[in-house]
Amino acid sequence: MTADTLPLNKSGKILEIMPSPLKINLMELGFLPGKKITLQHLAPSGGPMAFRMEDTLLALRKSEAALIRVEQI
């Protein structure tokens, strides 16, 4: 599954970042395989999602979250 389908308040372990021009942007922010992310907030009507990763809260659009392949934990 990808991070955009993660249910609210559930966590996932990152498996890989899919190839895309944004891959490098995601990786430099720390989205790396093995990291744990938790979906904490959802903007209404398909808006951005906010993930907690370690001590940061990171906001991304659904289309960007779809680039992060995760395994729900």
Partner 1 sequence: MAETTLLQKTVTSRIALVGNPNVGKSTIFNYLTGLNQKIGNYPGVTVDKKSGSVQINGETFEILDLPGTYSLFPNSEDEIIAHRVLNHTKLEERPDHVLMIIDSSQLSRGLFLATQLIDLGVNLAIILNMADLAEKNKLEIKTYELFKALGVPVLNTDARNQKGLDQVKNLISQRNFTKAPSFIDIQQVIPVDMLDEVQKRFQLENSYQAYQMIRFGTKDKAIAAEDRVWLEDLTRTADFDLEEAQLEETKIRYKKITEIVTVALTKKTEPKAKSNLDKIFLHPVLGYLVFFSILFLIFQTIFTWASYPMDLIDGLFADISARISTALPDGPLTRLLAEGVVPGIGGVVIFIPQIAMLFGFLAILEDTGYMSRVVFLMDRWMRPFGLHGKSIVPLVSGIACAIPGVMAARNISNWKEKMITILITPLMSCSARLPVYIILIGLVVPDEMVFGFINMQALALLGLYLLGVVGVFGTAFLLKFILKTAEKSFLLTELPPYRIPRWSDVGITMFEKSKTFVMEAGKVILAISIVLWVLASYGPPSRMDQIRLEGEARLENVTDEAQIAEIEAETSSHLLENSFIGIMGRAIEPAIKPLGYDWKIGIALITSFAAREVFVSTMATIYSIGGDLEDELTIREKLDQQINANTGEKTFNVASSFSLMVFYAFAMQCMSTVAVVKRETKGWKWPLIQTAYMTILAYVGALITYQLLS
Instruction: Summarize as ranges the residues that interact with partner 1 (CB under 8 A).
Output: 21-30, 32, 40-48, 50, 52, 54-61, 64
Q: How far apart are CA 16 and CA 34, in angstroms?
A: 8
The single-letter DSSP state of residue 7 is: P
Nearer to partner 1, 16 or 72 (CB): 16
8 Å CB contact between 5 and 59: no
Judged by beta carbon, residue 5 or residue 63, the one nearer partner 1 is: 63
Shortest separation between residue 69's beta carbon and partner 1, angstroms: 15
CA atoms within 13 A on the CB side of 73: 13
Closest approach of partner 1 to the CB of residue 13, in Å: 14
